[in-house]
Amino acid sequence: MEIRDRIAIVTGAGSGIGRATSIALSQAGARGVVLADVDEEALAETAPPVEAAGAAALCVRCDVRRAADWIGLLDIAEEAFGRVDILHNNAGLSSGTPYWPDISLERIEALVDVNLKGVLLGTRLGVERMRLSGGGAIVNTASVAAHAPLPPEAIYCATKAGVAMFTKCCAQLAGSHGVRVNCVCPGVTETPMLRKTGTDGQMADYLEPVYEALLPLAPEAIAAAVIALIEDEKAAGEVVDVLNEARAS
């Protein structure tokens, strides 16, 4: 898909990968980027660089766990720009402490609702709107943890594996609905969420050996993979890993 003059929605746009993708979409020529997040202050920080790159930025508070919020988000996007062509389902949570199996029941529900249910709702409703306007492209954010188990993050891994498999199940929508659904699986990426994997805003202890052995990815590297999937007309149901390089010994 040619991104120029398209309208995109990015969830989790307040920081990290979501912010980087929002800016990258603008740089690629998107006419409008709808920035969605529960953190309105963070959205306000994302909007200026998106607009500086050339696209109109619209900030919308959205809790991806709620179907009503999704419907409202899509309504606002269509009212402002007339259509939605691109959706990046990126909002996500990490487990934090305490880890599995001591993680709280409330945190389990939050992880499943944001990381998996949010993607399911967004894709279901996004496909419906895009089909009516001639098709589109959806990219989901999973993780290499979808197929590289991290026992302390068992729930997180399960939700991301669900996103990856769900994406594969959506491959046929390219033919039946004109909507290509794909997925990126980032490795260890330098984002604010990485610093929420441990206690008191610190990276989890179990990640330190990985961090010492591998160069962390920049959010812009994941954004580039998202852009590539949007632009590749042949990509449908693809699950693409974005892997870390080893540090020089």
CB-based contacts of 214, cutoff 8 Å, min separation 6? 187, 188, 244, 245, 246, 247
17, 19, 22, 25: CA torsion to nearest 10: -60
Q: 8 φ, ψ to 5°?
A: -125, 150
Is the confidence at residue 236, as pLDDT, over 70?
yes
| pLDDT tens per residue across span 187-232 | 999 888 877 787 777 778 878 887 788 899 999 999 999 999 999 9
Distance CA 249, CA 7 (A): 44
Q: 93 φ, ψ to 5°?
A: -130, 155
| Residue 227 pLDDT | 98
If you average pLDDT over residues 153-165, what whole number do you get? 97
CATH superfamily, region 7-240 = NAD(P)-binding Rossmann-like Domain (3.40.50.720)
**Residue 209 CB coordination number (10 Å):** 9
Is the confidence at residue 37, as pLDDT, over 80?
yes
Helix spans in 30-89 (H): 40-52, 67-81
Percent of the chain whose pLDDT exceeds 70: 100
DSSP 26: H
Domain boundaries, the chain: 7-240
Q: Provide the whole-model pTM.
A: 0.95
Distance CA 207, CA 31 (A): 39
Strand intervals (E) in 62-163: 86-89, 136-141
Is the confidence at residue 39, as pLDDT, over 80?
yes
| Residue 249 pLDDT | 66
In the block, residue with structure tokens 């449908």: 236
Catalytic residues: 156
| Residue 222 pLDDT | 98
If you average pLDDT over residues 118-142, what whole number do you get? 97
| pLDDT tens per residue across span 106-125 | 999 999 999 999 999 999 99
